[in-house]
Amino acid sequence: MKTDIYTKITNQIIAELEKGVRPWHKPWAAGHVAGPVSRPLRSNGKPYSAINVLMLWATAMERGYSAPIWMTFKQAKELGAHVRKGEKGATVVYASTFTKTEAKESGEEVERDIPFLKGYTNGH
């Protein structure tokens, strides 16, 4: 059975809390070659937001990463980079909404925005 993204995120946060780690605290104490770090960055330099910040901080702490830059396997390949054998990606989510038109019992059509999360894998 495939774990849904909500359960996966919740379980990751709970596991960190059980270890005595508050994953919303910034894991890096100082800057590095990429400059001062405030939150994880995409390969294009744009910062992650929302739950992705907590998830990537927790993964960075768990794996001992100090640089904040994350990218997909495809992005690494496009940059001529390589993924080390045995490395595992980290789950991040894309949150948005889509609009669905529904018919009421009266026959009137109404539009409804439906929120969704889509998980994908990113690497460091």
Q: Cβ neighbours of residue 74 under 8 Å, at least 6 residues apart?
A: none
Domain span at 11 = 5-122
- The alpha carbons of the chain give a radius of gyration, in whole angstroms, of 18
Percent of the chain with pLDDT over 70: 83
| pLDDT digit string, tens, across residues 16-54 | 889 887 766 655 454 554 555 467 888 888 888 888 888
Convert 95-112 to b/e letters by CB count within 10 Å (16 or more is b): eeeeeeeeeeeeeeeeee
| pLDDT digit string, tens, across residues 66-84 | 788 888 888 888 889 888 8
CA–CA distances in Å: residue 119 to residues 4, 10, 57, 101:
9, 13, 17, 25
How many structural domains comprise the chain? 1
Q: Report pTM.
A: 0.62
